[in-house]
Structures are given as structure tokens and as C-alpha cells.
Structure 1
Amino acid sequence: MLTSSFNIDYFILLSAMLLIVGVVTTKFSTRLGVPALILFILVGMITGSDGLGIISFDNAKMAQLIGVFALIIILFEGGLQTKWATVKAVTKPSLSLATIGVILTTGAVAVAAKLILDVTWLEGFLFGAIVGSTDAAAVFAVLKGQNIKARLGATLEAESGSNDPMAMFLTISVIELILVDEASYLPLIGTFFWQMGIGLVIGLALGKLAVFAINRINLDSSGLYPVFALAFALLTYSATALVGASGLLAVYIAALLVGNSDLTYRQSIFRFNEGFAWMAQIMMFTILGLLVFPTQLFTFDIIWKGLLLSIFLILIARPIAVFASTINMGYSLKEKVFLSWAGLRGAVPIVLATFPMIAGIENSQLFFNVVFFVVLTSCLIQGSTISILAEKLGLTGPKKSEAPHTLELVSIGKANAEIIEFEVSKTTPIVGKTLNDIQFPEDVLINAIIRSSDLVTPQGNTIIEDGDILYILVAKKSKRELKDMLNNGSVAGMTL
């Protein structure tokens, strides 16, 4: 009994220490210019059985479960934070990169894997499929706060949020072809359209249901709303996966819809999921770091093969995919070069590399070690130089400013009023006008204005400027009218 209690307490202590170390490493990652996920992986490798020996972990099934769960959280948070008005303009190239781009990358890498790893053609395609997609967790983490041009950032985020299903589909399909002697290729085409089509439909349906339920339910505690929203993310994935469709695609689509809708307790939902997504990243990358054994990874055989495949993926396969997938889509040569370099690999390839291990595929351990090395080099080399390359190519925009959420945004209990946040842009109808000149709807009051991180007390002669963040108290019955007035019918900029 005492031993059991000690083990539980030991596990809780280790969890606390890993989270603390994970959070602290994010501070060092900024100073060192290294993506935080690299440090999370290193924490796992150092504390693992091949490192300090604090934690012994080699359960591929458990790592896969934790990885998929974390990806759901990360994709949901990424979709919530993505503005549809920005993504809408890059839907075509993003989808092209997420489908054609992944297929082209898979095919190109398959040839290199066949020659470098000395495996069969099907095994080469399996390796190519595993590393074929960019990683949402890595891309979201590296681009957050960067002043890269909005169109390029939106393209990368939309691509990474929607290409995981294609990589997973290809990986599972190739595994089935390897395991089944007389497998047919034709049914895979129908399976692909089923997974993507049904995933899209369920994502839209459950996203709308989530918005309806969140706004209509009247919970006693505001802290339950973020949990309620997260439950819909998990429901979306599981319901979609149970019918054989792409759960990850459905989650991202549902999150896009939820994040761009009017929501009760919006800020509480966003802040909770942002923190939970960070915890999921720390947990996932640390666990994946525990799963690898440095004595097996850092051998001469793995290093030279991994380096050759990394160089081929970064300098040849990814550029081929980008240039071919974005033909006649309005991207300049410099922008295509940047998109090629910014194709980060991260957790998804490592999680996908556990599928062959669980299926008992020959060379699965070799694949896992090489994939892990490819991810490390991708994150370390590409992730730490993205902002530098963007500046060299002249692809940076105005420095992004985070809204200072020192004023808690709330739906005021069961009262019929809310405090909302609105960021003024050049196209906002009220920009350049004084408060006296603006005909606000009934029961609307400007509580505060944040201008360049300074608090401006609203007065009748206060002029609204581009970049101002307004905190507005509004009766719920007037919220729709206020939104229409500020955005001319668009939800862009309104945080409800």
C-alpha cells in the first residue's frame, strides 16, 4: 500500500517538474532563438532511460495515444485563433499544399529513402508519407508573434492545420499495402474522398452545434464554458474517427467555425485553450523525447542517413512540392522560397512513425530513429531561421502587437450585458471620428481604449485611431447591431 502511494506521489512529482521545466524552457528558447519544442524533446531525452534514467518509457501505443490527444488540443486552439477573413484569401493554395504538396513530397522522399535506407519501394513510400506533412504544433509555435506577412503566415498555418489528415491517410494506406499481400489500390481513392469529405461535413456540423450550445446554455460557472468547448473538440474527433473519416480535419474545421463566431465567454474559452495547448505541447514532445533512445539515435549510421534525408527534404522535396502546388496562385519567387523553407516537421511525423512500430513493420525502429533525427534537424535549422529569412527576403510586415488583456472580458453573469473587445483597423468605419460623432446603438458604452499599450480614458472629443483596442459595454440585444456598425456585417476584429 505504501509502495503504491509512493509511486503515485512520485509520478505526480515528476509531472510537476516536467511541466515547470517545460514552461521555463520557453523563456530560454526565445533568448537562444531555438523553437521551444526542441527543448521539450531534449527534456524527454535527458530524463529518459538513456539519459539520467529518471523515467523509463518505451510504450509506443501510449505515446501514440498521448500524441493524438495533444494534436486534437493543438489543432483546436490553432483553429480558434485563426481569422477566417485572412485564411479565406489563401484557401486554394493552402489546400493545394495540403494535398498535392503532401503527395509530391511523399513521392520525392520515397525515392531518396529507397536509395539511402536501402528499403523496398513500399517502405520508401511509407517513410515519405510519415514526413510528408508540415506540423501544426511546430508552425503555430514558431510563427506566433512573428511579423511575417499575413498572407504567408496564413498560408503556412492553414496548410499545417489541414495537411495532417493527408499524411495520416497515406501512412495508414501504405502500411495496409505492406501487410496485405494482394491489396488493391483502387479502394484507397474512395477511402480518401470519404475521409476528407465526411471529415469536412462533420466538422462543420459539430462546429455549428458547438456555437449554438455554448451561446444557448446558461451555466452557473464561467469556468465551465472552456471545458464545454473543449468537450466538443474531443467529440468532433471521436465521432468523425468512428465513421472512418479524418478526425483531425474535422477538429480544425470545427475550430475555425467556432473561433470566427459570436461566443459567450469568448476570452475565457480562448485563454483556457491557449494554456491547455501549451501543456499539450510540453506533454507530447516530452513523451516523444522519452520514447527515443539517444544511444540508438546518435549513431554514425542514423546521423549520416538522417542528414542526407533532411537535406533532401528541405532543399529538394519541399521546394518541388511548393513550386508545383502554387503554380499561377500569385506567389512571387521569394515567397515560394520562404514557403519552401518554412515547411517545418514536428510532432506529427514522430507520432506517425509509431504506426509502423505498432503494426510490426520491418525496419520500423530504423524509420522511427531517422524520422526523429529529421524532425530535430528541421526544427533546429529551419525553425530558428524563419524570421531571419523573412527579413532577408523582405517578407516581413508591421510588428504584431498582442492585445493587452489586463481588463478581463466577461459576460456579466446572468445580466443582459457583455464587455467586448474590438481592434480598430484602417477599414473600420469609425476610424478618424470622435466619440461624439459616432452614432452607437442603444445601451453601448466605451469603457476604455488601449493605444500603443497606453490606457486612454474615453471622452467625447477622443478620436478613434487605427490600431486602437476598444473595450465596450453593450446590452446583449444591441450586440448584433453594434457588430454590424463596426464591421459592415463582418466579424473580423470583433472579439465577443
Structure 2
Amino acid sequence: MFFDVVENDGIIFLIAFLLISGVLAAKFSSRLGLPSLVLFIGVGLIIGSENLGFIYFDNAGTAQLIGIVALIIILFEGGMQTKWSTVRPVAFPSLSLATFGVFLTSLITGLSVYLILNVTLLEAFLFGAIVGSTDAAAVFAALKERNIKAKMGATLEAESGTNDPMAVFLTLTFIELITNDSASIWILIPSFFWQMGIGLLIGLILGKVASFSINRINLESSGLYPIFAVSFALFSYSAAASIDASGFLAVYVAALIIGNSELTYRYSIFQFNEGFAWMSQILMFVILGLLAFPDEVFQWSVILNGLFISFVLIFIARPVAVFLSTLGMKYTVKEKVFLSWAGLRGAVPIVLATFPIVAGLDNAEMFFNIIFFVVLTSALVQGSTISNVATKLGLMGPVTDTPHHSIELISVAKANAEMIQFQTNRENEVVGKKLYEIDFPNKASVSAIVRDNDLVTPYGDTEIKAGDFIYILVSRKHTDEVKKLLNAKKDNVDSYEDMGKKIKKEDKKKKR
């Protein structure tokens, strides 16, 4: 009994140690200019059996399970943070990159693997399939707090959020072809369309169901709403995966719908998911670091082969895939160069690299070690230079005005009320008016105004200005009325888009 207690205490201590190490690694990663995943993996390598020797971990099946669950959480958080208005214009090119682009990348990389490694053509293409997709966890983490132009960020996020089905399909297909002599690629192709189509459908349905349920259910504690939302992420994946559809695509689509819906306790849900995603990312990369053995990963044969494959992947396969996948689309050469450079590899290839190990393939261990090295190379070379490359290509956007403040509400569910956060702009009808001049419903109260990061106490004669963050406590049955009031536009003020169109028309008239 004593040893059981000691073992359990040790596990709890270990989890605490991993999380503390991960948080500190994330803190120092921004100062060092390195992607946080590199330091997370480094923590796993250091505390593993060949260095400090705290943990001996070689269970690929367990690592695969932890990786899949963590990716669900990360995809869900990333999808909820993605604005549909930003993604919609780049939906088609992102889908092209996520399918045709992954296929081309896998094909070109696979051919290079066939030339330098003593493996069969099918095994080489399996390797290419595993590293063919960009990684959502790496891309989301790399783009956070970087002011990349919205079009570029949306394309990369949408691609990384939807390209996992293609990578998983190709990986499982080649494993099936290698292990089953009677398998045919022509029989397996229809399953890809099943995975994509049904995964998309399940994501759409459960995203709508989740949004409706979150708004309609009246829970006793506000802390239950984020858990309720996350449960739909896990349910979306399992519902799709149980019928051989793409669980990852279902999660991302459901998150996109939920995140772009009007939600009760929206900010509590978002904050919880952000913290949960960070925790999942830390544990996942540390576990993947534990799974790798430095003496095997950093031997000369792995390093040399890994550098060659990384070179092909970064400078040949990815650029060719990007330029061909976006052919005829409205992307400049500079934008295509940036999309090529920002195609980060991360957790997905390492998690997929465990599939051949679980399947018992002959060269599975060699593949895992080289893929691990390729991911580290991608993260170090590409991940640490994204901002510099974007700056040189002129693709840095304006500094985003994100409020670093929050208002916490306690036990509002029982009062059947919610807090609305709204940022004004020059087009809103309420701008320039004093609070007593705005016809708010009786059961609506302006609780706070944040202006230029300063708190303004609201009074009747307080004037609303453009850029203000207004916090309004309102009864739920009057929520739509308040939002309609806040979103009303001034009749005599054109939007920035309309102003831009007018300027272009005037320029054309002058040229004539």
C-alpha cells in the first residue's frame, strides 16, 4: 500500500513538474525567439531516461492517445478563435493546400526518401505522407502575438486545421498497402471522400447543436459552460471517428461554428479553452520528447538524412505544392513564398510517426527518429524566422488592438443575465452620443467602459467614443435588442470598405 501511495505521489509530482517546466519554457521561448514546442520537446528529452533519467517512456500507443486528445483540444481552441469573416475569402485556397498541397508535398518528399534511404517505394511514400501536412498546434502557436497580415494568417490556420484528414488518410492507406497484399489504392480512394464529407457534415451539425445547447441550458455554475463546450469537441471527434470519418475535421468545423456564434459566457469559455490548449500542448510535446531517445535521434546517420529530407521538404516540396495549389488564385509571389516558408511541422507528424510503430512495420523506429529530427529542424529554422520573413516580404499587418482586461461575473446564470462586450468604431450610431441619449432597454446597465486601456466610470453624460470597449449587463431576453442597438450604423458615415471603393472609382474617373 505504501508503494502505491509513493507511486501515485510521484506521478502527481511529475505532472506538476512537467506543467511548471512547460510554462517556464513558454515564457523563455518568446525571449529566445524560439517556438515554444522546441522547448517543450527539449524538456521531455532532458528528463527522459538517457539524460536525467526521471522517466523511462517508450509506449508509442499511449503517446499516440495523448497526442490525439491534445490535438483535439488545440484544434478546438484554434477553430473557436478563428473568425469566419476572415476565413471565408481564403476557404478555397486553404482547402486546395490541405488536400492537393499535402498530396504533392508527400509525393515529392517520398521520392527524395526513396533515393536516400534503403526502403521500398511504398515505405518512402509512407514517410512523405507522415510529414506532408502542416501542424495546427505549431502554426497556431507560431502566429499568436505576431501581427501577420490577416489573409496570410487565415490561410495558414485554415489549412493547418483542415489538412490532417489528408495526412491521416495517406498514412493509413500506405500502411494498409504495405501490410496487406490484397489491398488496392483504388478501393481506398472513396474512403477519403467519405472521411472529408462526413467529417464536415458531423462538424456542422454538432457545431450548431453545441451553440444552441450552450445558449439554452441554464447551468448552476458558470464554470460548467467551458466544460460543456469542450465535451462537444471530444464528442465531435469520437462521433466522426466511430464511422471512419475525419474526427479532426469535425472538431475544427464544429469549433469554427461555435466560435462564430453568440454564446452565453463566451469569454469564460474562450479563456478556459486557451488555458486548456496550452496545458494540452505542453503535455503532448513533453510526452513526445520523452518518447524519443537522444542517442538514437542525434546519431550521424539520422542527422544527415534528416537534414537532406528537411531541405527537400522546406525548399522544394512545400514551395512546389504551394505554388501549384494556389495557381490562378489571388496570391502574389511574395504571399506564396511566405505560405511556403510558414508551413511548419509539429506534433501531427510525430503522432503519425507512431502509427507504423504500433503497426509493427520494419523501418518504423528509423522513420520515427528521422521524422522527429525533421520536425525539430522545421520548428527551429522556420518557426523562429516567421516574423523576420514576413517583415522582409512586407506582410506584417497592423498591431492588433486586443484588450488586456476582463470582467468576471459570478452566479449570473441564476440571475438569467449576461455581460456583453462591444468595441465601437466610427461607423456605430452610438459613437458621439452620451449614455442618457442611448435608448437602452430597462434591464440593461452599462457597467464599465475601457478606453485606451484605462477604466472609465460610466455616468449619464459619459460620451461614447470610437474604439471604446463597452461592458453592458443585460437580461438575456433583451440581449438581441441591445446588440442590434449597438451594431446600428450611422447613415452619413461610409464603412472603410465603401470609402475604399469610392476612392478607386474617383481615381478611375480622373484617369479617364
Q: Does the TM-score normalized on the shorter chain lie above 0.5?
A: yes
Deviation at 1:406, TM superposition (A): 3.1
Deviation at 1:433, TM superposition (A): 4.8
Amino acid in structure 1 at the alignment position of 2:10? Y
Query: Partner of 1:447: helix, strand, or coil?
Result: strand
Bigger Cα displacement from structure 2, 385-394 vs 410-419: 410-419
Hey, what does 1:144 align to over in structure 2?
144
Amino acid in structure 2 at the alignment position of 1:299? Q
Bigger Cα displacement from structure 2, 83-92 vs 56-65: 83-92
Hey, what does 2:190 align to over in structure 1?
190
Query: Partner of 2:261: helix, strand, or coil?
Result: coil
CA contact (8 A) 1:104 1:317 kept: yes
CA contact (8 A) 1:265 1:411 kept: no
Equivalence map 1:80-91=2 (5 Å) = 80-91=80-91
Percent identical residues = 63
Unaligned runs of 5+ in 2: 490-512
Hey, what does 2:328 align to over in structure 1?
328
Cα distance in 2 for residues equivalent to 1:84 and 1:266: 16
Unaligned runs of 5+ in 1: 490-496
Hey, what does 1:53 align to over in structure 2?
53
Query: Partner of 2:418: helix, strand, or coil?
Result: strand
Amino acid in structure 2 at the alignment position of 1:476? R
Cα distance in 2 for residues equivalent to 1:444 and 1:88: 34
Cα distance in 2 for residues equivalent to 1:396 and 1:464: 31
Hey, what does 1:126 align to over in structure 2?
126
Deviation at 1:429, TM superposition (A): 4.6
Deviation at 1:210, TM superposition (A): 1.1
Amino acid in structure 1 at the alignment position of 2:448? A
Note the aligned Cα RMSD (angstroms): 1.7
Hey, what does 1:339 align to over in structure 2?
339
Query: Partner of 2:413: helix, strand, or coil?
Result: coil
CA contact (8 A) 2:219 2:413 kept: no
> Cα 1:482–1:45, aligned 2, differ >3 Å: closer, same or farther?
same
Cα distance in 2 for residues equivalent to 1:174 and 1:200: 24
Q: Deviations over 1:207-256 (max 9, x none)?
A: 11111221222211111111111111111111110011000100111111
Hey, what does 1:102 align to over in structure 2?
102
Query: Partner of 1:422: helix, strand, or coil?
Result: strand
Q: Deviations over 1:143-200 (max 9, x none)?
A: 1111111111111111111111111111001110111113112222210111111101
Amino acid in structure 1 at the alignment position of 2:48? G
Query: Partner of 2:470: helix, strand, or coil?
Result: strand
Amino acid in structure 1 at the alignment position of 2:456? V
Query: Partner of 2:157: helix, strand, or coil?
Result: helix
Deviation at 1:404, TM superposition (A): 2.2
CA contact (8 A) 1:105 1:318 kept: yes
Q: Deviations over 1:393-425 (max 9, x none)?
A: 111111123322332256723223211111234
Deviation at 1:464, TM superposition (A): 3.7
Bigger Cα displacement from structure 2, 466-475 vs 33-42: 466-475
Cα distance in 2 for residues equivalent to 1:432 and 1:152: 35
Hey, what does 2:34 align to over in structure 1?
34
Bigger Cα displacement from structure 2, 68-77 vs 325-334: 325-334
CA contact (8 A) 2:218 2:413 kept: no
Bigger Cα displacement from structure 2, 431-440 vs 147-156: 431-440
Cα distance in 1 for residues equivalent to 2:366 and 2:132: 17
Cα distance in 1 for residues equivalent to 2:481 and 2:391: 41
Hey, what does 1:494 align to over in structure 2?
none
Amino acid in structure 2 at the alignment position of 1:477? K
Cα distance in 2 for residues equivalent to 1:429 and 1:128: 55
> Cα 1:124–1:140, aligned 2, differ >3 Å: closer, same or farther?
same
Cα distance in 2 for residues equivalent to 1:323 and 1:53: 46
Deviation at 1:328, TM superposition (A): 2.2
Cα distance in 1 for residues equivalent to 2:460 and 2:410: 25
CA contact (8 A) 1:109 1:128 kept: yes
Hey, what does 1:385 align to over in structure 2?
385
Hey, what does 2:482 align to over in structure 1?
482
Deviation at 1:340, TM superposition (A): 0.7
> Is residue 16 from structure 1 mapped to residue 16 from structure 2 by the alignment?
yes
CA contact (8 A) 1:450 1:469 kept: yes
Cα distance in 1 for residues equivalent to 2:386 and 2:235: 35
> Cα 1:450–1:435, aligned 2, differ >3 Å: closer, same or farther?
same
Q: Deviations over 1:313-333 (max 9, x none)?
A: 111111111111112221111
Hey, what does 2:175 align to over in structure 1?
175
> Cα 1:426–1:172, aligned 2, differ >3 Å: closer, same or farther?
farther
> Cα 1:144–1:411, aligned 2, differ >3 Å: closer, same or farther?
farther
Q: Deviations over 1:296-346 (max 9, x none)?
A: 011111101101111111111111111111122211111111111100000
Report how many aligned residue pairs link the two structures.
489
Hey, what does 2:493 align to over in structure 1?
none
Bigger Cα displacement from structure 2, 314-323 vs 347-356: 314-323
Amino acid in structure 2 at the alignment position of 1:70? A
TM, length-normalised to structure 1: 0.95
> Is residue 230 from structure 1 mapped to residue 230 from structure 2 by the alignment?
yes
Cα distance in 1 for residues equivalent to 2:94 and 2:465: 33
TM, length-normalised to structure 2: 0.92
CA contact (8 A) 1:411 1:419 kept: no
Deviation at 1:349, TM superposition (A): 0.2
Which structure is larger by alpha-carbon Rg, 1 or 2?
Answer: 2
Cα distance in 1 for residues equivalent to 2:344 and 2:434: 46
Amino acid in structure 2 at the alignment position of 1:102? V
Hey, what does 1:245 align to over in structure 2?
245
Q: Deviations over 1:99-153 (max 9, x none)?
A: 1111111111111111122321111110111001110001111111111111111
